[in-house]
């Protein structure tokens, strides 16, 4: 009987989440008619990036300070394969994603044995290594980056040159990426991942090889960060060093913390907030103050609402409507 009660409760929360998904999807479908599509695409790319990062921090309990490397790798590989090999956009994006996954595997292999600050430092060091590699190697175009990446034709059939078709392509990519993350969290694998986050020695004593679980999670996270980078390079038709810089690794941490670590919608809200702020502030008189304002918000977030925007809303709902 208890199991049934439990199941019905689980189903209720599942339905609520499903309803939120549906509403978000509808909003996503009509949004480009109200808001500038390029801005929306940028937002979606960063939201996916933050969600991928959140899988590692929020569900794996590991703070990676090197996710910029995966974002950049996705972008460069996609740009290169489309420009030099003439791949169609979906294949270019796939290539970028796979290369990021491969890089994630190498990073993970080297870093996962360490915990906490050491894990963060190793991932940072490795991503700096990748940064300097990309400054030097000719295929990235160095300081200039890869410019004028053609958006091409999806499956060789549908042109993505217009902003509206491109937007729906990005939306589809985002939905797929988000679905992968959601399923990963709510899978047998996700259960063990949560167990490891909650109490690692106990997970070991139950016979789970925790390093392998962390590695798989890291590769998934890296692949999805790469997917975000690949898609972004198509949107802006540009792959540049900005994506590889450690600022980017910091920014994704900010987005995730601001939105709410370990919540499914938190990174999306966080990414939306940061991207919107950057966009609007950079047009006004406060343009040169953007980093300061973001920093200030970050400090306030850490001091006052540590569980992030979505985390605080969830707490509030629980307190008042349960």
The answer to whether the beta carbons of residues 174 and 166 sit under 8 Å apart is no
Smallest distance from another protein to CB 226, Å: 17
Smallest distance from another protein to CB 184, Å: 4
How would DSSP label each residue in 226-286?
A: HHHHHHHHHHHTEE-GGGTSHHHHHHHHHHHHHH-TT-SSHHHHHHHHHHHHHHHHTTSTT
Q: Name the residue nearer to another protein (CB basis): 50 or 216.
A: 216
Considering only CA atoms, which of 254, 245, 244, 246 is closest in space to residue 301? 254
What is the number of other CB atoms lying within 10 angstroms of the CB of residue 212?
12
Stretch that binds another protein, among 65-73, 151-159, 178-186, 283-291 (CB under 8 A): 178-186
Stretch that binds another protein, among 2-10, 61-69, 240-248, 313-321 (CB under 8 A): 2-10
Identify the three-state secondary structure at position 17.
helix
Smallest distance from another protein to CB 2, Å: 5
Smallest distance from another protein to CB 174, Å: 19
Residues 6 or more apart whose Cβ sits within 8 Å of residue 36: none
Q: Name the residue nearer to another protein (CB basis): 125 or 210.
A: 210
Quick note: the x/- pattern for another protein over 212-241, rule CB under 8 A, is xx--x---x---------------------
Identify the three-state secondary structure at position 158.
strand
Q: What are the two backbone dihedrals, phi and then psi, of residue 238, each rounded to the nearest 5 degrees?
A: -150, 135
Stretch that binds another protein, among 27-35, 167-175, 187-195, 298-306 (CB under 8 A): 187-195
| # of chain residues touching another protein (CB under 8 A) | 33
The answer to whether the beta carbons of residues 286 and 294 sit under 8 Å apart is no
Q: Does 98 bind another protein (CB under 8 A)?
A: no
The answer to whether the beta carbons of residues 249 and 228 sit under 8 Å apart is no
Q: Does 201 bind another protein (CB under 8 A)?
A: yes
> Quick one: angle between helices 210-236 and 89-111, nearest 10?
150
SS3 content of the chain, % helix, strand, coil (to 5): 80, 0, 20
Name the residue with tokens 């509808």. 26
Q: Does 322 bind another protein (CB under 8 A)?
A: no
Smallest distance from another protein to CB 284, Å: 42
Q: Does 5 bind another protein (CB under 8 A)?
A: yes
Q: Which residues of 56-67 are buried (b: 16+ CB within 10 A; e: fewer)?
A: bbbbbbbbbbbb
Smallest distance from another protein to CB 1, Å: 9
Write out the binding residues for another protein, residues 240-299 only, by CB under 8 A.
Answer: none
Quick note: the x/- pattern for another protein over 127-166, rule CB under 8 A, is ----------------------------------------
**Contact pick of 12, 18, 109, 202 for another protein (by CB under 8 A):** 202
Which residues here bind another protein, judged by CB under 8 A? 2-3, 5-7, 9, 183-184, 186-192, 194-195, 198-199, 201-210, 212-213, 216, 220
């Amino acid at each position: 009987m208890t199991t049934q009660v439990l199941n019905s409760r689980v189903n209720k929360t599942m339905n609520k989440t499903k309803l939120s998904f549906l509403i978000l999807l509808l909003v996503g479908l009509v949004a480009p008619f109200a808001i500038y599509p390029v801005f929306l695409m940028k937002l979606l790319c960063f939201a996916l990036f933050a969600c991928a990062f959140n899988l590692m921090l929020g569900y794996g309990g590991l703070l990676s300070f090197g996710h910029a490397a995966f974002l950049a790798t996705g972008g460069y590989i996609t740009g290169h394969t489309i420009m030099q090999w003439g791949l169609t956009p979906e294949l270019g994006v796939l290539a970028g994603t796979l290369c990021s996954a491969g890089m994630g595997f190498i990073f993970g292999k080297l870093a996962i044995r360490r915990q906490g600050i050491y894990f963060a430092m190793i991932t940072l060091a490795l991503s700096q290594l990748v940064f300097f590699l990309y400054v030097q190697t000719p295929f990235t175009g160095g300081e200039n980056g890869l410019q004028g990446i053609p958006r091409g034709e999806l499956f060789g059939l549908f042109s993505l040159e217009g902003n509206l078709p491109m937007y729906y392509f990005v939306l589809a990519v985002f939905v797929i990426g988000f679905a992968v993350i959601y399923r990963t969290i709510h899978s047998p694998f996700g259960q063990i991942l949560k167990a490891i986050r909650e109490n690692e020695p106990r997970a070991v004593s139950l016979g789970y090889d925790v390093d392998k679980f962390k590695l798989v999670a890291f590769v998934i996270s890296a692949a999805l960060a790469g997917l975000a980078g690949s898609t972004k390079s198509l949107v802006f038709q540009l792959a540049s060093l900005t994506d590889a810089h450690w600022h980017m690794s910091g920014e994704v941490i900010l987005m995730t913390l601001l939105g709410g670590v370990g919540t499914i919608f938190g990174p999306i809200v966080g990414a939306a907030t940061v991207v919107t702020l950057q966009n609007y502030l950079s047009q006004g008189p406060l343009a040169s103050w953007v980093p300061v304002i973001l920093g200030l918000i970050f400090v306030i977030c850490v001091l006052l609402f540590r569980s992030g925007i979505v985390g605080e809303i969830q707490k509030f709902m629980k307190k008042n409507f349960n």
